[in-house]
Structure 1
């Protein structure tokens, strides 16, 4: 089965694999279209049983406690994006020649005739920020726009709601399970090793990202990222190409001239004409990689015809997400910054490059990723490092190789007070003018429910340190209950 083969969903036998954020709305929408849906999930807990009861009222057959067996007589499988291709159910479907798609591909096929165009964003880092900036710009231009995909409203629901345009965040998993997407414009922000445990090889990871540059799409690349640029140049049937850079832009690029964001791609005469879009002061939080995010969002907005003044208004109205270069406090001349979302080397490198000198708080689950290049590059700006989490020894080994003079504190604790000890040690290493930066480079699941929980723990510890710093002598230690 392919995208052209589906003329009606009525009676189509569909297996929805996984009842998570994408699976539940997919099952609902398919049932409403008349499909005969069987939804499966390996879990059988109270939450899943409540979801099952709701879906069964809609005519969906639900099987809990078995996520491995392919239901009989299936025509199509709609999988949750996190399911790897080698899990038994998906492997059985592939062996039987049954098509497997994801929620994003399903949404594309479910679009009405007058569907809103998609402006799509992928990349190793920065996707959510760019999609939210883009949505703010589109809204400032008067469009009814929505952020969807890996963020916000489920995309299978959004395509039916009559929006003017959708800003779509796409992960490599979602792109892997897509085949017929044709965005109006799209960008690959950057490419660095990530999710290789899922994709198997770097080539497979890059190949998934490449799907975003479909025929008829305006391909926007990061002119300072070799892989992003190569993917855009190789995109067959592209409706146009543009780049973004932190340097002075050439024709066909958006870039920076002194303290101004400038467009030399979407003007009447890019060779002779430049259009001022915004100032660096309009980008919040200010950091080099966030300026690049703003330029990427502006490129997609301009490709869609958004005027320059709306780009500026959109950036000024944009509210940054928490846990991404989030200023927490200044204590004794030392600035504390929460970037708990920096869960892989590329993101941590961008964060570290924004500050100097830095006391770096790092650790967690490295997912098999190498940190040597990150540490080698960051070494000159490090005042010290405080390490926590399961894979902290690997970061310590890299620091010993590439920054042997940088003091390193190992915090082996995993209890609820661990972050207080981490922050206390970081404060001890820092001097006035330094930044204490949580940019963990690892995932959070060894100690925390997720990266927001880790960021909240860091911010709470910093606030306790701030409160203790304001007490008179003898007023108690950080994190202690005086009562």
Structure 2
């Protein structure tokens, strides 16, 4: 244990981990790996929390409700991002001046290599993944994770050259020590209104990414993404010739840095304007840690994107099936629609758990498309008024069964639900996997 890490753990003996699942298990495993002897207890209000069977017998576990005595007797509480700080039991602990942190704060105490991080309402998973892929392409050992893929604590290793983290607003709420070589704040749109008091509350959580950042990378079309403190150098991205942007040379569009071309847009495998923006951010992050951008261009040209994010999963007789299950809010679905090249009819599947969102912004965009709207899931009714073609289904499978017989070459079937998945699926990945299975089934029938 390094001297700085030892200092962080001085005086801490009793630790309570709140919430299991992948993140909670990573916290327990990390705590057990420390040379300092700790008393570790776990609370999960679910009666059968995922992963509880993986804990060894030395860990005391309370499930099905809160155990307030444990919280108020703790030296440190490590809470899952899914637990709101406004939860009364957590508030009682905070009122006793018991520190409440998340896994990212523990990561911040221990990380020894440079860290870059990405937050925003939409696009952060693609930017995180792309940044990691590009850094690895030039021979760096890179730890990629956080809110995407591998929990941050499982990334910690002595041989890492660079960490690339996706950070949600939930994770940032309990993080105060994370030092970043560069912090990217992509955009801000309505999301998680079931968790926050309003947009100002949500935006304030996102702003925490800049607390100890050496460089801020922000969206020059969204003032909300700029750091509120004045002492951070700011780099912007957007679709003009400033900082990281685009330029036109001889009728060809290029991604650019300070007006100088970096790579031709037509050479990229990614599709959609939103992915040009994502590429610019990845380049800005790598530039901030002194990686020569010319060395990552081959990898950028061949990058095809994330699973479940505008992912082509079947193409048969000119009929394309797009899995965009990761579109769990309105802005993400709007981004997917803005990048479409349509020659036929778009069959758009929307619905799930709306999280209190207002879906009306979709209506004018849908009016400009040759679209048939298919609404399913718990909050499917909230979409029906958005377009005259709307049909209501209980499940996604019912919708696809109806769509299949009328498909023609040039048509596009897209799952971009603008909602969370947990009414009918374990998570958005399971929803996307099921869409992919059905899409490939129907594509095979047509072959």
Alignment match, 2:22: 21
Whether the aligned pair in 1 keeps the contact of 2:30 and 2:153 (CA below 8 Å) is yes
Whether the aligned pair in 1 keeps the contact of 2:76 and 2:98 (CA below 8 Å) is yes
Q: Cα distance, 1:347 vs. partner? A: 0.5
Alignment match, 1:249: 241
Distance in 1, Cα, partners of 2:65 & 2:375: 39
Within the candidate set 165, 168, 192, 1:168 is matched to 165
Whether the aligned pair in 2 keeps the contact of 1:119 and 1:168 (CA below 8 Å) is yes
Question: With structure 2 as the length reference, what TM-score do the two structures score?
Answer: 0.90
Distance in 1, Cα, partners of 2:355 & 2:49: 30
Q: Cα distance, 1:6 vs. partner? A: 4.4
Alignment match, 1:50: 53
Alignment match, 2:214: 217
Whether the aligned pair in 2 keeps the contact of 1:386 and 1:408 (CA below 8 Å) is yes
Q: 1:10 to 1:299 in 2, by over 3 A?
A: same
Alignment match, 1:153: 150
Whether the aligned pair in 2 keeps the contact of 1:359 and 1:385 (CA below 8 Å) is yes
Within the candidate set 291, 297, 301, 1:306 is matched to 291
Whether the aligned pair in 2 keeps the contact of 1:70 and 1:89 (CA below 8 Å) is no
Alignment match, 1:269: none
Distance in 2, Cα, partners of 1:46 & 1:346: 32
Give the secondary structure class of the aligned counterpart of 2:423: coil
Where does structure 2 lack aligned partners over 5 or more consecutive residues? none
Distance in 2, Cα, partners of 1:213 & 1:8: 24
Alignment match, 1:268: none
Distance in 2, Cα, partners of 1:33 & 1:63: 25
Distance in 2, Cα, partners of 1:277 & 1:70: 58
Give the secondary structure class of the aligned counterpart of 1:196: coil
Within the candidate set 350, 359, 362, 1:362 is matched to 350
User: Alpha carbon RMSD of aligned pairs, Å?
Assistant: 2.4
Whether the aligned pair in 1 keeps the contact of 2:378 and 2:423 (CA below 8 Å) is yes
Whether the aligned pair in 2 keeps the contact of 1:363 and 1:387 (CA below 8 Å) is yes
Give the secondary structure class of the aligned counterpart of 2:28: helix
Whether the aligned pair in 2 keeps the contact of 1:17 and 1:23 (CA below 8 Å) is yes
Whether the aligned pair in 2 keeps the contact of 1:254 and 1:263 (CA below 8 Å) is yes
Summarize deviations over 1:349-402 as a string: whole Å, max 9, x none: 011112235221111111110010122223211322122112111101232xxx
Alignment of 1:283-298 (within 5 A): 283-298=268-283
Whether the aligned pair in 2 keeps the contact of 1:132 and 1:318 (CA below 8 Å) is no
Q: 1:169 to 1:48 in 2, by over 3 A?
A: closer
Q: Cα distance, 1:180 vs. partner? A: 2.0
Q: Cα distance, 1:44 vs. partner? A: 4.6
Alignment match, 1:386: 374
Q: 1:73 to 1:159 in 2, by over 3 A?
A: same
> Is 1:439 matched up with 2:436?
no
Q: Cα distance, 1:256 vs. partner? A: 4.5
Where does structure 1 lack aligned partners over 5 or more consecutive residues? 265-273, 471-483
Q: Cα distance, 1:311 vs. partner? A: 2.7
Within the candidate set 409, 432, 447, 1:455 is matched to 432
Equivalent residues, number: 435
Whether the aligned pair in 2 keeps the contact of 1:261 and 1:276 (CA below 8 Å) is yes
Alignment match, 2:113: 116
Whether the aligned pair in 2 keeps the contact of 1:215 and 1:236 (CA below 8 Å) is no
Alignment match, 1:85: 85
Alignment match, 1:408: 390
Summarize deviations over 1:32-64 as a string: whole Å, max 9, x none: 24233222222454854423326x2xxx44333
Alignment match, 2:255: 261
Within the candidate set 307, 316, 320, 1:335 is matched to 320
Q: 1:332 to 1:222 in 2, by over 3 A?
A: same
Distance in 1, Cα, partners of 2:393 & 2:415: 14
Distance in 2, Cα, partners of 1:466 & 1:132: 29
Distance in 2, Cα, partners of 1:49 & 1:335: 41
Whether the aligned pair in 2 keeps the contact of 1:104 and 1:174 (CA below 8 Å) is yes
Give the secondary structure class of the aligned counterpart of 1:390: coil
Q: Cα distance, 1:93 vs. partner? A: 0.6
Whether the aligned pair in 2 keeps the contact of 1:70 and 1:93 (CA below 8 Å) is no
Alignment of 1:97-116 (within 5 A): 97-111=97-111, 115-116=112-113
Q: 1:226 to 1:12 in 2, by over 3 A?
A: same
Greater shift after overlay, 35-44 or 70-79?
35-44
Distance in 1, Cα, partners of 2:82 & 2:347: 34
Alignment match, 1:236: 230
Whether the aligned pair in 2 keeps the contact of 1:335 and 1:435 (CA below 8 Å) is yes
Summarize deviations over 1:90-137 as a string: whole Å, max 9, x none: 1221121212111101111233xxx10110100111111111110111
Summarize deviations over 1:381-433 as a string: whole Å, max 9, x none: 1322122112111101232xxxx4xx222223x4xxx51x3124334565532
Question: With structure 1 as the length reference, what TM-score do the two structures score?
Answer: 0.83
Q: Cα distance, 1:307 vs. partner? A: 1.0
Q: Cα distance, 1:321 vs. partner? A: 2.1
Within the candidate set 381, 396, 402, 1:425 is matched to 402
